Structure 1
Amino acid sequence: MGKFPRLLLLTVLVLPACASTCTTRWFDRDDPSGVGDFETLADLRREYPMDICPKPIGIEAQTVEGTPASSTGQIFHPFNPKEGFACVNKEQNYSCLDYKVRFTCPSNFCSASTCTTRWFDRDNPSGVGDFETLADLRREYPMDICPEPIGIEAQTMEGTPASSTGQIFHLFNPKEGFACVNKEQKYFCLDYKVRFTCPSNFCSGCMTQWFDRDDPSGRGDYELLSNLRSEYPGKICAEPLAINVQTLDGIPALKTGQKFSVLI
């Protein structure tokens, strides 16, 4: 009797053409210390407002080194796009690994392009704490932040996400900014910096080079637009939207405590 190829029974899943989707960036807001590693949707929405679509349609989880969660052999509760992801230490043989997650969203969520401001660090944690409030930042960096930020990020000066420090934050939202109060911590607040997410059209402008046409000898230091236009023809747009002023060492003018006749 001759040998015949083995017959395999195959199942085929036919899917309808689906609408295009996009993925968010990776989020890692928690470490597996304490109870476990919690990357829940509710927590992530609080820390990264506007960075996740209203109704995610998928979720991925990996260790921070890039190993898919499904390959680690650990147990997860929950692990779905409606609730997010959680790994509980007591449910594992050892402790949970450190995980990051990202969500799948409808493509139109990602088409609303955004941009981020530069990092701001206007305060140090001496005294009451570290206050990077939107009101204070607007006074010190006029026109550098969009009228209505739609997101905020905070990190230590070394680059550790605020959510990974274990500290408590008095403010942490794009409408008010960020504040860490020393008396609310075990020790003292770390030194934080913040940046804001804005609509993409806010970042569509550009900045000129720095100009330094005068020294503070005589009556003072005059960097007037009319003088600068004469000395640097073609280097400044017809209708500037904003002005930044620093000392030659990089200290913002509003931090020097000096008075200015013109700063608009």
Structure 2
Amino acid sequence: MGMLQNLLLLTILALPTGALICTTRWFDRDDPSGVGDFETVFDLRKEYPGEICLQPTGIEAQTLEGMPASSTGQIFHPFNPEEGFACVSKEQHDGFCWDYKVRFTCPLDFCSGCTTRWFDRDNPSGKGDYELLVDLRSKYPDQICKEPLSINVQTLDGIPAHQTGQKFSVYDSTRGFACVNAEQGPGQFCRDYVVRFTCPESFCSGCKTRWFDRDNPSGKGDYELLFNLRSEYPDKICSEPLAMNVQTVDGIPAQQIGQRFSVFDPLKGFACVNDEQEGASKYCRDYKVQFTCPKTFC
């Protein structure tokens, strides 16, 4: 199986005024069985790295059943986008907090940005695996935007970093990623990791290809692989694309669909396999892809 993408589950919502907002998925990292229910930004960033924007502009909290926190009559602090949410059991009238979930509002670019290729500049054979942004910029000039919106990290075989159980000394979009061997358990070493970044849409607006849709998901899935695209559309795609956009044919960004993708890399293209999907829909949507190329290509 190819590398599975740990996608951010994001949603672009339309307000009654017609304005658009970007919301994260719902997070529920804590249960109220102890001191209370703590869904703080600090803890959420540790457990779900890269899934919350650097500066959230809003926060919502609900019980697991969907009741707004403001309707429960309980006391919360903090309850703001900078710190997150906390309910302390001893501060409640009945001595117990409900079980809450939270989600954040982020800048629109955080939902609709473009994705870089996967980078793997280091191996963990020395002190650890260092995929720091300053080193990546040096090795891959002009391939990463000035201010990435988020970072994705996974092992070479496609396991999301936060599922490995390892400790990371650096894991954010402003510095990159670092895993130190000495910080792991006895006799353990860092896995070999790859990283990629989500960039503002403007990073992909310089030199774009057309949208390509060479396959339909009626067979094994939807395969928009770069090798096949080059064969079908010769000279229409640069030799080393900088980034890639993927949408459904009706214009919904792939990151919002919640499906699994076995290939999602500007240097390889895109593939969605029907057998790898879960939930109600067992079939891939029909996707189209677009590449960002160096300005010289245009």
TM-score when normalising by structure 2: 0.46
Q: Secondary structure at the match of 2:124?
A: coil
Contact 2:36 2:96 in 1 (8 A): no
Matched residue type, 1:68:
G
Gaps of 5+ in 1: 1-16, 212-231, 245-251, 253-264
Matched, 1:84 2:84: yes
Q: Corresponding residue for 2:183? A: 184
Distance 1:37 1:116 in 2: 34
How far residue 196 of structure 1 moved from its aligned partner, in angstroms, is 1.0
Q: Secondary structure at the match of 1:180?
A: strand
2:53 to 51, 54, 66: 51
Gaps of 5+ in 2: 1-15, 213-224, 243-266, 268-298
Contact 2:21 2:108 in 1 (8 A): yes
Contact 2:26 2:102 in 1 (8 A): yes
Matched residue type, 2:171:
F
Q: Corresponding residue for 2:126? A: 127
CA change 1:42–1:209 in 2 (3 A) is closer
CA change 1:158–1:137 in 2 (3 A) is same
Contact 2:30 2:39 in 1 (8 A): no
Distance 1:30 1:100 in 2: 8
TM-score when normalising by structure 1: 0.50
Q: Secondary structure at the match of 2:174?
A: coil
Q: Corresponding residue for 2:108? A: 110
Per residue, is there more strand in 1 or in 2? 2
CA change 1:103–1:175 in 2 (3 A) is closer
Matched, 1:198 2:196: no
Distance 1:123 1:68 in 2: 44
How far residue 180 of structure 1 moved from its aligned partner, in angstroms, is 0.9
Q: Corresponding residue for 2:293? A: none
1:157-176 correspondence runs (5 A): 157-160=157-160, 162=162, 167-176=166-175
Q: Secondary structure at the match of 2:119?
A: coil
CA change 1:31–1:130 in 2 (3 A) is farther
How far residue 193 of structure 1 moved from its aligned partner, in angstroms, is 3.1
Deviations 1:149-201, CA, capped at 9 Å, x for gaps: 23323345554453x66644222232331001011233435433322121113
CA change 1:179–1:69 in 2 (3 A) is farther
Matched residue type, 1:203:
C
Deviations 1:71-115, CA, capped at 9 Å, x for gaps: 9x9x88546234312467999999996x6521246xxx3267422
Distance 2:189 2:75 in 1: 33
CA change 1:189–1:118 in 2 (3 A) is farther
Q: Corresponding residue for 2:66? A: 68
Matched residue type, 2:41:
L
How far residue 118 of structure 1 moved from its aligned partner, in angstroms, is 3.7
Q: Secondary structure at the match of 1:175?
A: coil
How far residue 133 of structure 1 moved from its aligned partner, in angstroms, is 1.9
Matched residue type, 1:26:
R
Tell me the number of residue pairs that the alignment of Structure 1 and Structure 2 aligns. Answer: 199
Matched residue type, 2:136:
L
Q: Corresponding residue for 1:22? A: 21
Contact 2:133 2:175 in 1 (8 A): yes
Distance 1:55 1:243 in 2: 32
Bigger radius of gyration: 1
Matched residue type, 2:182:
K
Q: C-alpha root-mean-square deviation of aligned residues, in Å?
A: 5.0
